[in-house]
Amino acid sequence: MARLPRAEPGPFRVGDIAPGDRHELSRGNAIYCAPTGGTAARGTGYGFELLDSDPAVESAGVDAGFAPTEDTLRAPDVSVGVPDVPGWVKGAPPLAVEYAGTGQDEASLQSKIADLLEAGTRWVWVVRLVGPRCVEVHEAGKPLVVKTVGEELTAPGVLKNPVRAEALWDRKAAHEGTLRNLLQRAGYESVDAIRQEGRAEGMAKGLETGAARAVLAAFEAREWQVSAEVESRVLRCTDPVQLLDWLRRAIRVASIDEVFEKA
């Protein structure tokens, strides 16, 4: 896709934009960012949980503001490499994801891609939600690549695992990828690996122990505070089906209390 002409420099600076302001900056020009529609909002959630859970990722964020220069402030829908610090993040994320849904301003999107790549972002993944769904892979100095259902995206040095294109918009695919990531964080490559450990240690006991460890690791990955009571409840559970259900719920719900609501 051909790049659109860049706008002339404007008068605004990063210090003029406050947290919560619905504007970004491109070379001093203020750009209004409209609220996200339902489809894009859901996709953003899927993309965040998938990237944030990758074993090689220390942190990810939604709408985090990156300020590579004094006159540019960009907030990707999802980005990898968001430190736990107040204010705008200096520099640019190595990987950024943008969701392009109904009403997308294409000129603004292309400007944002250009700003991020110029600032040092290695990959900008644009998830197209209008028409046949796909993911555009933008890299500085390289031709545009388009990935569709069943194809994988990679980010060497940033992500450990490949990402199936549809996992960035499809709930089931996103949960499958996130579950794989959380299990790997707990030292297991898959649910089958937990079962195999169970057979090696003594079928029932091994499966219970491995699944319980995976549940606690999932809580840790979500950065939830685990009380001694909750930890004891998980470790005492002798039902592998229940433990795996808690593990799946840990991916989807918003708090540790919700994991146990329907238990």
Are 141 and 131 in contact by the 8 Å Cβ rule? The answer is no
Q: How confident is the model over 217-240, as pLDDT tens digits?
A: 888 878 899 999 999 999 888 887
Owner of token pair 């947290």: 19
SS3 173: helix
Number of domains in the chain: 2
The reported pLDDT for the residue numbered 168 is 97
Does residue 199 share a domain with residue 163? no
Please tell me whether the overall predicted TM-score, pTM, comes out greater than 0.75 for this model: no
Residue 194, judged by CB atoms within 10 A of its CB (0-12, 13-18, 19+), counts as buried
Are 26 and 37 in contact by the 8 Å Cβ rule? The answer is no
The reported pLDDT for the residue numbered 27 is 79
Does residue 40 share a domain with residue 163? yes
pLDDT of 198 > 60? The answer is: no
Does residue 156 share a domain with residue 28? yes
Owner of token pair 């990828």: 177
Residue 25 covered by a domain:
yes
Mean pLDDT, residues 196-203: 54
pLDDT of 76 > 70? The answer is: yes
Lowest mean pLDDT among 32-36, 72-76, 114-118, 192-196: 192-196
Token digits of residue 222: 């979500």
Cα–Cα distance for residue pair 141/206, rounded to 1 Å: 50
For 134-165, b where at least 16 C-beta lie within 10 A, e where not — what string? bbbbbeeeeeeeebeeeeebebeebbebebbb
Does residue 144 share a domain with residue 92? yes
CATH number, domain containing residue 66: 3.90.1570.10
Token digits of residue 168: 């960035």
